[in-house]
A and B are shown apart, each in its own frame.
Chain A
Amino acid sequence: MKYGSAFLAIGFALLLWQGIVTLTGLPKFILPGPRLVAESWWTNRALIAEHTLITAMEVLIGLVIGTALGIASAIYLASSRVARLVIQPILVFTQALPVFALAPILTLWLGFGLGSKIAMAVLIIYFPVTSSFCDGLMRTPRGLLDLAQTMQAGHWRTLRLIRIPAALPSLASGIRLAAVYAPIGAVIGEWVGASRGLGYLMLLANGRAKTDLMFAALLTLGVFAVLLHLAVHLATRRLSGSSPDRA
């Protein structure tokens, strides 16, 4: 049902796109039609695949590192009141700063390679994972903590056996958000300075007025992002199932 309507929507979008191209008669270097883009995608498939692989690596490595850092930070924050008082305001403050503004500096520091893009992805992922997991850890049902206390439980065992499992659904939503943000971070990194990746390919095609290739790269990025989202959704489904209020 959900997928059926998705296919309908894609079909409709393609029709609309072709309709606009035909009606307005825009030159193909401004708005190429779907056919032309498809042809360009097919002729450049090796090139696109090569750059997609780079972007995918940046995103996936960024996702793993950002999620791991986020999980560790959330557990640390949830364990220490002092840490929450001192570090949380700093975290919130740094979030007010658009991460994109850091892209040039990261490129300067880490170079044109994968490193600066992974760092962008990590930076952009880190906060949603940390904050949603930490929120979940701080919202353990009061009664469970009371029970643990009467059982003479230690801090770490309470964390491991009660607070972390109870917060897994929150972690899942954080990771899902991260999967949406990660490609944005990587592509922005590529725009600022790169010699490989879909973001780089789009800039390159745009500069040479190969608008059809630009669109082909853009659509590939879109498909990758959707697939990533689905994969992460499936992977985190087990985590979401263990909510304490599911009764």
Chain B
Amino acid sequence: MSRAPGVTLEGSASIDGAPLFAPLRLTLPAGRWTCLLGGSGVGKSTVLRLICGLPTGASFDGTITATDTRPIPERVAYMAQDDLLLPWASVTDNIRLGARLRGQRADADRLAHILARVGLSGHAQKKPGALSGGQRQRVALARTLMEDKPIILLDEPFSALDAQTRAAMQELAADLLQGRTVLVVTHDPAEAARLGHAIVVLTPKGVTDCPPPAAPVPRPVDDLDTLRCQAELLRRLRDAA
């Protein structure tokens, strides 16, 4: 992986002429986790897709730049709420999908190493249908790691999981994605409070920064500061609605 750059999105978006979000400036600090929190429909996924270079329903007027000024889309790995696993392909083939799609050989040792780190070594030849929801999301995380990109964009990656699996996944992802520039889009104040080095709340009026708790990421679920931050984030979301 090359050194992770910071990313800045500056501009406004509209859908069929109606403004989606006002002019805003969103900065993802290099090598850090930024949590973008907001209610549903405010444009969180749109922001993330714009950074990925994926098509959106909105027209964006502004700029998206990396601190090293190099292009961004070829340096991102993307993970969504849906695990997006190919049901007909084995866990291994799913993890090395990126290499296969680019006509490259996947490094088998690295794959085995990543599989072990997400705790799925015994499942390499299984089909996704034979795995639990949490295991499937771990395969998706392994696929993201296999891409070895400096910028990671996660769109509500854990929101389909039950509470305990989600907490475990948050810790695993925080550990494995260390040092990369990560954007997590979420509607869950608890997730933002646990994972964000920077926490940003998105409303139709724009973005506001929220001071993150002091504890290192991933913060314990019972850290008082973190719980207080979570409550504050919830208050802001409700005020915005």
Contact = CB atoms under 8 A, between A and B. Distances in A.
Contacts of A141: 84
A152 interface: yes
B227 interface: no
Contacts of B82: 143
A161 B100 contact: yes
B100 A152 contact: no
B78 A147 contact: yes
Interface stretch (B69-77, B169-177, B189-197): B69-77
B78 A150 contact: yes
A143 B76 CA distance: 16
Given A243-B87, A246-B87, A247-B87, A146 B54 contact: yes
Contact of B101 (A157, A242, A243, A247): A157
A165 interface: yes
A154 interface: yes
A134 B84 CA distance: 22
A151 interface: yes
Given A151-B101, A157-B100, A246-B87, 17 more contacts: A143-B84, A144-B84, A146-B80, A147-B84, A149-B53, A150-B52, A151-B102, A152-B73, A152-B101, A153-B102, A154-B101, A157-B103, A161-B97, A162-B86, A242-B88, A243-B87, A244-B86
Interface in A21-44: none
A232 interface: no
Interface string B82-119: 10101111000000011011110000000000000000
Interface in A102-154: 141, 143-144, 146-154
Contact of B77 (A150, A157, A165): A150
B129 A154 contact: no
A157 B102 contact: yes
Nearest to A162: B86
DSSP majority for the A interface? Answer: helix
A246 B129 CA distance: 8
A235 B78 CA distance: 37
A153 B73 CA distance: 12
DSSP majority for the B interface? Answer: mixed
A154 B76 contact: no
A93 B81 CA distance: 42
A93 B53 CA distance: 39
Contacts of B54: 146, 149-150
A157 B86 CA distance: 14
A154 B102 contact: yes
Nearest to A168: B88
B97 A151 contact: yes
A158 interface: yes
A168 B74 CA distance: 30
B147 interface: yes
B104 to A, nearest CB: 10
Contacts of B102: 151-154, 157
Contact of A151 (B49, B87, B147): B147
Contacts of A247: 87, 129
A154 B147 contact: no
A70 B16 CA distance: 39
A81 to B, nearest CB: 15
Nearest to A243: B87
A152 B98 CA distance: 8
A162 to B, nearest CB: 7
A223 to B, nearest CB: 35
A240 to B, nearest CB: 11
21 contacts: A143-B82, A144-B86, A146-B78, A146-B80, A149-B52, A149-B53, A149-B54, A150-B78, A151-B102, A151-B147, A152-B73, A157-B102, A157-B103, A161-B97, A165-B88, A165-B89, A166-B86, A242-B87, A242-B88, A244-B87, A247-B129
Interface in B128-156: 129, 147
Interface in A214-247: 242-244, 246-247
Contacts of B100: 157, 161
A168 B88 CA distance: 11
A164 to B, nearest CB: 10
B162 to A, nearest CB: 16
A23 B54 CA distance: 73
B101 A148 contact: yes
Nearest to A150: B78
